[in-house]
Amino acid sequence: MANIKSSIKRIATTEKKTLQNKSKKSALKTTLKKFEAAVSESAETAGVLYQAAVKSLDKAASKGIIHKNAAARKKSRLAAKLNKENQAAK
Q: pLDDT at position 18, please?
A: 96
Q: pLDDT at position 42, please?
A: 82
Q: pLDDT at position 43, please?
A: 79
Q: Which residues of the chain have pLDDT under 70?
A: none
CA dihedral 53, 37, 88, 70 (to 10 degrees): 40
| Structural domains in the chain, sorted by start | 5-89 (1.20.58.110)
Contact between 25 and 69 under an 8 Å Cβ cutoff? The reply is no
pTM, to two decimals: 0.85
pLDDT tens-digit map of 19-34: 999 999 999 999 999 9
Q: pLDDT at position 89, please?
A: 74
Rounded CA-CA distance 53/87 in Å is 20
In this structure, is the dihedral angle defined by the CA atoms of residues 12, 14, 19 and 20, taken in order, positive or negative?
positive
Q: pLDDT at position 56, please?
A: 97
